[in-house]
Amino acid sequence: MPGRRVTSKDVAQHAGVSQSTVSYVLNDTPNQSISPATRDRVRAAAATLGYTPSAAARALRRGSSEAVLVVLPDAPIGAAIAAMIEGVSAVLEPHGHPVVHRRQRDTVGLRALWHELAPAAIANLAAFPASEEAAIEAAGIPVVGVALGGEPGRAMRVPQTAIGRLQAEHLVQRGHTHLGFAASTDPHLAEIARGRLAGVEEVCAERGLPAPVVVDVPLYADAAARAVQRLRDRAGPVTAVCACNDDVALAVLAGLRTAGLAAPGDLAVVGVDNLTAGRLAAPPLTTVDIRPDDIGTTLGKHVLRRLKPELELPVPDDEPPIDLVVRATT
């Protein structure tokens, strides 16, 4: 039946029985007087139509699911987020816990989802507040939270200020005294960018340097070239830029090329994420590696400790390391 999912109603019609009979047969419900011939007919119809009960339906029948729900912030699912999800899956799936994920757009939608899916646990990647975590825990579903701002009260912290500090300290050590901050134009990334900018501002204040000049950098070469020019047109021009992520840093590099300039001679650039594209850029991009795969595996271990305390797993780190990867743009 192309174009839509096969349902138990389709199986019932094909087998000439009621939907309840289909449910009883496929779920092996005890104490039902259904003849062997009818059971065979229902199973044959299900096989012919390719019917498989949904994960949500199986969860509702059992009262809970073995799946772990990873709730993501309402932001693009780029390479870093994908690596985190892969890391969580690598830890949990060998223990019988498949991982599903969704972007969190509103609390009402989240509440409907966990009520329907009834997951074994939820990993909250800074997508919903502590008050909602409390409600989910009260329903008997463990919640493991990650604080992307470094705030306490969650199993894991990824302090964005530390990322910005690492960028700025590297550039200052390279002799730069007037820094810029290249922000994303994507509003979904505003909170993360604010944390990273705060780290850059801290370093500048501690070193007695001017506050960093902040410019939005669209992901287009011509617009990025205009942003670069705004930095260079200032009195006491900016000589180095901390970009809020690698995508923005690569846009800065494209803007430099469009303007007939180059890194690091005209403007040093450091990004965040350590994307493959950064390694392949011309010149290769200096960046901060936030180790998203490590964040994912550590998060998975925290979840597994909640789900299987009998394994007596060691306590994972609560703040995965970050590293500066120095390449040719600084």
Residues 6+ apart with CB under 8 A from 21: 12, 15, 34, 38, 42
CATH of the domain at 254: 3.40.50.2300
- Name the percent of the chain lying above pLDDT 70: 92
pTM of the model: 0.77
Which of 32, 53, 74 terminates a domain? The answer is: 53
The pLDDT value given to residue 53: 59
- What is the count of structural domains for the chain? 3
Structural domain span for residue 112: 64-158+293-320
Query: Which amino acid is residue 48, in one-letter code?
Result: T
- Cβ pair 104, 148 in contact under 8 A: no
Q: How far is CA 41 from CA 16, 27, 92, in A?
A: 9, 15, 37
Q: Is residue 180 part of a domain?
A: yes
Whether residue 326 is contained in a domain is answered as: no
Same domain, 39 and 112: no
Of the given ranges (91-105, 116-130, 298-312), which has the lowest mean pLDDT?
116-130
Predicted confidence at residue 135, as pLDDT, reads: 85
**Rounded percentage of the chain residues whose pLDDT exceeds 90:** 54
- Is residue 129 domain-shared with residue 230, that is, in the same domain? no
- Mean pLDDT of the region 121-145: 86
pLDDT at 85 > cutoff 60: yes
Residues whose CB is less than 8 angstroms from the CB of residue 249 and which lie 6 or more positions away in sequence, other chains included: 182, 241, 243, 269, 270, 271, 272, 278, 285, 287, 329
Coil, strand or helix: which one is 24?
helix
Q: Are 13 and 49 in contact (CB under 8 A)?
A: no
Does residue 59 fall inside a structural domain? no
The mean of the pLDDT values for the chain is 88
Query: 1: pLDDT confidence band, cut at 50, 70 and 90?
Result: very low
- 99 with 166, same domain? no
